[in-house]
Chain A
Amino acid sequence: MLNLHLLYPEIGLAVFALVLLTADLFFKGGKGKFLYFLGVFSACLTLGILGLAYSSPETYQGLGTMWTVDPLALFFKVLILATVILVLLLSVEYKPEAAHGHLGSFSALVLLSAVGMMLLVSAVDLLLIFLALELVSISSFILVGYERKDLRSSEGAMKYFIIGAFSSALMVYGISLFYGSMGTTRLTEIYPLFAQRSSAMFILGCLLILVGFGFKISMAPFHLWVADAYEGAPTPVTAFLSVAPKIAGMAVLLRVFTHFVPLASLDLSHVLCFLAMLTMTVGNCTAIFQTNVKRLLAYSSIAQAGYMLIGFVTGGILGREGVLLYSLVYLFMNLGIFAVVIHLGNEDGYELDAFDGLAKRDLALALLSTFFLLSLAGIPPLAGFIAKFRLFQSAIQGGWYWLAVVGVLNSVISVYYYMSIAHHMFFREPRRAEPARRGWIVTGTVALATAAIFLFGLYPEPALSTVRLSAEILPARAAGAARAAAPSTGPALLP
Chain B
Amino acid sequence: MELLSTITFLPLLGGLVILCVPKEKVGLIRGLAIFTTAATFAASLFLLGGFDPNLVGESIPKLQYVEQLNWIPSLGVHYFMGVDGLSVPIILLTTLLSFLAAIYSIGIETRVKEFFFWYLLLEVGMIGVFCAMDLFLFYLFWELTLVPMYFLIGVWGGPKKEFAAIKFFLFTLFGSVFMLLGILALYFASTPHTFNMLELMQANGSWSRSFQIVVFIAFYLGLAVKIPAFPFHTWLPLAHVEAPTPVSVILAGVLLKMGVYGLIRISYSILPAGYEWFLPYLIIIAFINIVYGALCAMAQTDMKKMVAYSSVNHMGYCLLGLAAVSTTGFNGAIFQMITHGIITGALFLLVGVLYDRAHTRDITAFGGLGAKLPVYSGIMALTCFASLGLPGLAGFVGEFMCFLGAFAYWKFWTTLSVAGILITAAFFLRMMQKVFLGPFNEKWKDLPEINLRELIAVGPLAVLTVLFGVWPQLILGLTDPTVKMISNMYEHMFQLVR
Q: Measuring CB to CB, which residues of chain A are less than 8 angstroms from any residue of chain B?
A: 359-360, 363, 370, 374, 379-381, 385-386, 389-390, 392-393, 396-397, 401, 404-405, 408-409, 411-412, 415-416, 419, 422-423, 426-427, 459-461, 464-465, 468, 490, 493-494
Contacts and interface: CB of A to CB of B under 8 A. Distances in A.
Nearest to B174: A412
24 contacts: A359-B111, A359-B114, A363-B23, A374-B147, A379-B146, A385-B143, A393-B187, A396-B188, A404-B181, A404-B184, A409-B177, A412-B170, A415-B170, A422-B150, A422-B151, A423-B154, A426-B114, A426-B151, A427-B155, A460-B74, A460-B75, A464-B72, A468-B74, A494-B188
Given A370-B147, A396-B188, A412-B177, 11 more contacts: A359-B111, A385-B143, A389-B75, A393-B75, A393-B187, A404-B184, A415-B169, A419-B150, A423-B166, A426-B154, A494-B188
Interface of B: 23, 71-75, 111, 113-114, 139-140, 143-144, 146-147, 150-151, 154-155, 161-162, 166, 169-170, 173-174, 177-178, 180-181, 184-185, 187-189, 191-193
Nearest to A413: B170
Contacts of B180: 389, 392, 408
A380 B141 CA distance: 8
A385 B184 CA distance: 14
Contacts of A494: 188-189
B54 to A, nearest CB: 36
A459 B154 CA distance: 31
Contact of A416 (B75, B166, B189): B166
A277 to B, nearest CB: 15
A111 to B, nearest CB: 35
Which residue of B75, B173, B187 has the most chain A CB atoms within 10 A of its CB atom?
A: B173
A381 B178 contact: no
Contacts of B162: 423, 427
Given A416-B166, A426-B154, A426-B155, A379 B177 contact: no
B324 to A, nearest CB: 33
A397 B177 CA distance: 17
A192 B143 CA distance: 48
Which residue of A379, A401, A468 has the most chain B CB atoms within 10 A of its CB atom?
A: A379
A494 B193 CA distance: 11
B154 to A, nearest CB: 6
B341 to A, nearest CB: 25
B294 to A, nearest CB: 31
A378 to B, nearest CB: 9
Contacts of A386: 75
A363 B75 contact: no
Contacts of A393: 75, 184, 187
B127 to A, nearest CB: 15
Interface of A is mostly: helix
A380 B301 CA distance: 39
B75 A408 contact: no
Contacts of A490: 192-193
B306 to A, nearest CB: 27
A392 B150 CA distance: 25
A416 B166 CA distance: 7
Which residue of A385, A390, A426, A464 has the most chain B CB atoms within 10 A of its CB atom?
A: A426
Contacts of B187: 393
A392 B147 contact: no
Contacts of B113: 363
A412 B181 CA distance: 13
Contacts of A416: 166, 170
| CB-based closest 9 A-B pairs | A408-B177, A464-B74, A396-B184, A380-B140, A380-B143, A494-B188, A412-B174, A412-B173, A381-B140
Contacts of A381: 140, 144
Contacts of B75: 386, 389-390, 393, 460, 464
B73 A461 contact: yes
Nearest to B172: A412
A465 B178 CA distance: 28
Contacts of B166: 416, 419, 423
Contacts of A389: 75, 180
Contacts of A423: 154, 162, 166
Contacts of B177: 408-409, 411-412
Nearest to B151: A426
Contacts of B111: 359-360
A175 B187 CA distance: 42
Given A415-B173, A426-B151, A490-B192, A408 B72 contact: no
B251 to A, nearest CB: 18
B403 to A, nearest CB: 37
A316 to B, nearest CB: 12
A465 B74 contact: yes
A22 B161 CA distance: 58
A386 B72 CA distance: 11
